[in-house]
């Protein structure tokens, strides 16, 4: 009989938890013992995934002193213990696993309360999910933790902006027409590749260089407002993560001279213009009031005032499409009218890292029939989607790679 693979059994022991220890130890003959680091890893995992009441760490560190709870904060001895847990998981696991463990801690052990301790918030690994939770609960954040809450969201925004900004800039440059050539001579518009190709026959080996006879220049570029991009963000609670990406997208586009950008947020009875806050996406995100129902007709009717050049307007509706207004049909009719006038429009159903949309499929199909495709795509696809729209590409073909049914 083959000897048991002790290391594999240890991995299963860490996965299955303390309740499986005796059964797995019986497979090892001489018993099963974990190293010091494996015990630390087991303790960190058991704090989240252990059975209720079985984990000393979870019972004391997450519950803390219940008399000290106020406005969602946990006081007293629980703070250093949870900080130690955060140190543990960072030492034992890679960053992507740390983010997952923090998310599960929120879902399973009520870590949302602990996020309002500034000492804890400073130790949390920034992630979109954590930032979305902070934004959802921002009205409960005590005064002493507001700076830490903002700093956490700022770290997430900075990381995402760094990841996406250059790609959006490339998408804008690639989409706007720079392929036409012009007799107007300007060094910034010199088309080096075409000039070299046209003059290869004029290469002079004696001096080792080309002697150009023909020089080509790109058309002079309009410096501002080639396109008008309007982002309307549904503020329902399910959209918290998506709104972070929407806000960052608006902030990035607002810095680009070729694009006029408007960002609005809406619910069932209010539309708020957040365009003036695009220079600070963190302020923009904290200006969003999550929760409640939504009225897409009202939001679109409001945004119509910005559509001064329909043929050069892109309307992005960031929403789950669960329209709670009395008459859904008037929204569809409004979109049909705008599309016929030349406006381009797309629905972004979800823009989380996982790209798993939760949305009203019935309304999405109605919009698709009138020419407004709706996509569930990861943020990395957003620059490509923007470029495809601005170029007038076939969005149906684009959707083959990003649409999620």
Q: What is the pLDDT of residue 29?
A: 66
Distances (CA, A) of 288 to 21, 221, 265, 271: 48, 36, 7, 10
What is the phi/psi pair of residue 99, to 5°? -60, -45
Residue in this structure with the two tokens 């609670």, named with its chain if needed: 237
> Rounded distance, CA 378 to CA 242, Å?
10
Domain 227-402: which topology? Rossmann fold (3.40.50)
Q: What is the pLDDT of residue 350?
A: 63
Q: Which residues contact 5 (CB under 8 A, 6 or more apart)?
A: none
> Rounded distance, CA 165 to CA 172, Å?
11
Q: What is the pLDDT of residue 182?
A: 47
Return per-residue pLDDT of the chain as tens, 405 residues. Answer: 456 677 787 777 777 777 777 777 777 766 777 777 778 788 778 877 776 544 444 444 444 443 333 333 333 334 446 666 777 777 788 877 877 777 777 767 666 656 677 777 777 778 887 788 788 777 777 788 888 888 988 988 888 888 888 888 888 877 765 544 445 455 556 666 777 777 777 777 887 787 777 776 655 444 455 789 999 988 876 677 778 888 888 888 888 878 899 999 888 888 989 888 888 888 888 877 766 667 899 999 999 999 999 999 999 998 888 887 778 899 999 999 999 999 999 998 865 555 566 788 899 999 999 999 888 777 778 888 888 888 877 766 666 655 444
Domain limits of the chain?
A: 6-152, 181-218, 227-402
Q: What is the pLDDT of residue 58?
A: 45
Helix axes 95-109, 36-49, angle to 10 degrees: 40
CB 106 within 8 A of CB 127: no
pTM, full prediction: 0.65
Please give, one letter per residue, the 3-state secondary structure of the chain: CCCCCHHHHHHHHHHHCHHHHHHHHCCCCCCCCCCHHHHHHHHHHHHHHCCCCCCHHHHHHHHCCHHHCECCECCCCHHHHHHHHHHHHHHHCCHHHHHHHHHHHHHHHCCCCHHHCHHHHCCCCCCHHHHHHHHHCHHHCCHHHHHHHHHHHHHHHHHHHHHHHHHHHHHHHHHCCCCCEECCCCHHHECHHHHHHHCHHHEECCCCEECCCCCCEECCCCCCCCEEEEEEEECCHHHHHHHHHHHHHHHHHHCCCCEEEEEEEECCCCEEECHHHCCCHHHHHHCCCCCCCCCHHHHHHHHHHHCCCHHHEEEEEECCCCCCCCCHHHHHHHHHHHHHCCCEEEEEEECCCCCCCCCCHHHHHHHHHCCCCEEECCHHHHHHHHHHHHHCCCHHHHHHHHCCC
Q: What is the pLDDT of residue 366?
A: 93
Q: Give the closest residue to 373 by CA, choosing from 353, 401, 347, 392.
A: 347
Q: What is the pLDDT of residue 315?
A: 95
Report the DSSP beta bridge partners of residue 316.
Answer: 231, 346
Q: What is the pLDDT of residue 402?
A: 55
Q: What is the pLDDT of residue 301?
A: 94
> Rounded distance, CA 10 to CA 32, Å?
8
């Amino acid at each position: 009989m083959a000897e048991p693979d002790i290391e594999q059994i240890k991995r299963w022991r860490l996965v299955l938890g303390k309740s499986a220890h005796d059964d797995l130890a019986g497979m090892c003959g001489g018993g099963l013992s974990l190293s010091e680091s494996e015990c630390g890893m087991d303790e960190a995992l058991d704090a989240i995934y252990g059975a209720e009441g079985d984990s000393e760490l979870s019972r004391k560190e997450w519950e803390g002193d219940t008399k000290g709870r106020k406005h969602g904060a946990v006081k007293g001895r629980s703070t250093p213990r949870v900080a130690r847990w955060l140190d543990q998981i960072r030492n034992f696991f890679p960053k992507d696993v740390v983010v997952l463990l923090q998310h599960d801690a929120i879902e399973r052990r009520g870590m949302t309360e602990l996020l309002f301790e500034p000492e804890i918030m400073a130790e949390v690994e920034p992630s979109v999910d954590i930032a979305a939770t902070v934004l959802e609960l921002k009205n409960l954040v005590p005064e002493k933790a507001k700076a830490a809450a903002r700093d956490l969201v700022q770290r997430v925004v900075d990381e995402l902006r760094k990841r996406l900004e250059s790609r959006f800039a490339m998408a804008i440059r690639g989409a706007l027409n720079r392929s036409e050539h012009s007799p107007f001579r300007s060094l910034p518009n010199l088309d080096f590749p075409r000039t070299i190709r046209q003059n290869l026959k004029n290469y002079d080996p004696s001096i080792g260089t080309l002697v150009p006879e023909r020089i080509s220049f790109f058309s002079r570029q309009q410096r501002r407002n080639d396109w008008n991009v309007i982002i309307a963000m549904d503020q329902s609670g399910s959209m918290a993560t998506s709104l972070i990406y929407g806000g960052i997208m608006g902030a990035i586009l607002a810095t680009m001279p070729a694009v006029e950008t408007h960002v609005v947020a809406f619910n069932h009875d209010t539309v708020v213009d957040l365009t003036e806050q695009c220079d600070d996406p963190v302020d923009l995100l904290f200006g969003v009031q999550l929760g409640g129902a939504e009225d897409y007709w009202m939001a679109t009717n409001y945004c119509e005032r910005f559509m001064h050049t329909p043929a050069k307007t892109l309307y992005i509706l960031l929403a789950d499409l669960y329209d709670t207004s009395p008459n859904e049909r008037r929204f569809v009719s409004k979109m049909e009218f705008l599309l016929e006038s030349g406006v381009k429009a797309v629905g972004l159903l979800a823009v989380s890292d996982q790209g798993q949309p939760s949305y009203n499929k019935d309304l999405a199909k109605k919009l698709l029939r009138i020419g407004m495709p709706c996509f569930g795509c990861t943020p990395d696809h957003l620059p490509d989607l923007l470029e495809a729209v601005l170029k007038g590409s076939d969005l149906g073909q684009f959707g083959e790679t990003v649409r999620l049914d």
